[in-house]
Amino acid sequence: MERVFNFSAGPSMLPVPVLEEAARDMLNYKGSGMSVMEMSHRSKVYEEIIKDAEAALRRLMSIPENYKVLFLQGGASTQFAAVPLNLLSKDGKADYIVSGQFSKKAYEEAQKYGDVQIAASSALDKFSHIPAFTAADLRPDADYVHICYNNTIFGTKYPEIPDTGSIPLVADMSSCIISEPVDVSRFGVIYAGAQKNMAPAGLTIVIVREDLLGKARPETPTMLNWQTMAENDSMYNTPPCYCIYVAKLVYEWILGMGGLEEMKRRNERKASLLYDYLDSQSYYTAPVEAGSRSMMNVTFVTGDKDLDAKFASEAAKAGLVNLKGHRSVGGMRASIYNAMPYEGVEALVAFMKKFAEENPKD
Ligand SMILES: *Cc1c(COP(=O)(O)O)cnc(C)c1O
């Protein structure tokens, strides 16, 4: 089989030049005589890899000096617990904006640790938009506010960074990190699982403002304590070495094309192609409200469950795979992360047109 256009929400496509470079280095990384997978994480050669990975991410995202970058394990879901453990004081409060399934899970996990409330939610509208809120909806003494910046399952994204006043903003950016420039200084904490837009599964990035370190509760498991991880340069224990290496290659790939401005231009061009087509016809419906559309995850339905199923299976036969929507919402979802080429979206739109012609609705 040839390589397919893989629209999976995650793990998802990686850039071909990155896979090729990893393949070239597979057996003998830069004359070390071994694969990156086989190296001690304490070796000089590996130390350089993780340092370069951090430096590349810092450059790519213009991460200010007063932020730590952590390379962790456990996925974004582990951070659902790590966030309150590190930030929520014993008698403290935290406010959550619920805009989809992952932010709901984050909220439910945080509830175990204290006075945690939902400040705004779009659940009643089936998460078809980002809930509107202002600083006035937040408790002024909250330790932090948590948002999910891009909702992978529903295909929504915040049109801009919400204003939370002086309350630290914590954002799950698993499915949109490094897809476009973002002002890191507006956030207290950014975290992301790597398997959507950065690397193979197994790596989680946490970017945390230094003044938010040192507040972890005494019972915080050592492995979830950001300060411990920061003090040990993410090497308290064995980090996900190979994933970090691939992430480094991905960061360098984007830097090589001109950074996040160029990445954004490419992503916008892909998303516009798909949304413009969706807006130009009536066979498919895009359930997300206009101001909340994600550039990374595009959802649509035919309005007929059987046709939706047929669409996904016939698309797969045509080399366009993993277009079935999340099991909780149905329909279709095209995840068009950084690594998806423009040609993949062109092929998808051509297939959608053909499918609509060949399968008229009565
Ligand atoms: C995929 C995803 C998660 C879950 O990530 P894991 O790494 O599987 O724990 C959480 N939040 C968002 C926004 C995601 O897209």
pLDDT for 1 equals: 75
Residue 151 and residue 102 in contact, taking contact as beta carbons nearer than 8 Å: yes
Beta bridge partners, 119, equal none
User: Is any atom of ligand 1 closer than 6 Å to the C-beta of 172?
Assistant: yes
Cβ count near 266 (within 10 Å): 18
Which atom of ligand 1 is nearest to 193's Cα? 7
CATH 3.90.1150.10 residue ranges of the chain are 259-358
Question: Which residue, judged by its Cα, is nearest atom 2 of ligand 1?
Answer: 174
Q: 6 is written with which tokens?
A: 């893989």
User: Which residue, judged by its Cα, is nearest atom 12 of ligand 1?
Assistant: 174
Token pair, residue 223, equals 């492995």
The pLDDT of residue 362 is 76
The residues with which 285 forms a beta bridge, in sequence order, are 301
Q: What is the C-alpha to C-alpha distance for residues 354 and 362, in angstroms, rounded to an integer?
A: 17
Domain with CATH 3.40.640.10 in the chain: 17-257
- Output the tens digit of pLDDT for each of the chain's 362 residues: 789 999 999 999 999 999 999 999 999 999 999 999 999 999 999 999 999 999 999 999 999 999 999 999 999 999 999 999 999 998 999 999 999 999 999 999 999 999 999 999 999 999 999 999 999 999 999 999 999 999 999 999 999 999 999 999 999 999 999 999 999 999 999 999 999 999 999 999 999 999 999 999 999 999 999 999 999 999 999 999 999 999 999 999 999 999 999 999 999 999 999 999 999 999 999 999 999 999 999 999 999 999 999 999 999 999 999 999 998 889 999 999 999 999 999 999 999 999 999 999 87
Q: How far apart are CA 335 and CA 315, in angstroms?
A: 14
Alpha helical stretches, state H, the chain: 16-24, 44-61, 75-87, 101-110, 226-231, 241-257, 260-279, 305-317, 342-358
How far is ligand 1, taken at its centre, from the CA of residue 26, in Å?
28
Domain range 17-257, CATH architecture: 3-Layer(aba) Sandwich (3.40)
In angstroms, the CA 118 to CA 111 distance is: 10
pTM score of the predicted model: 0.98
3-state secondary structure 84-117: HHHHCCCCCEEEEEECCHHHHHHHHHHHHHCEEE
For the CA of 173, the closest atom of ligand 1 is 13
Helix (H, G, I), strand (E, B) or coil at 320: strand
Residue bearing the CA closest to ligand 1, atom 5: 76
Report the relative pairing of strands 67-72 and 204-209 from DSSP bridges: antiparallel
CATH of 259-358, one of 3.10.310.40, 3.40.50.150, 3.90.1150.10, 3.50.50.60: 3.90.1150.10
Taking the CA atoms of 38, 43, 49 and 51 in sequence, report the sign of the dihedral they define: positive
Residue from 87, 318, 232, 343 nearest 310 by CA: 318
Q: What's the 30 CA to ligand 1 centre distance in angstroms?
A: 33
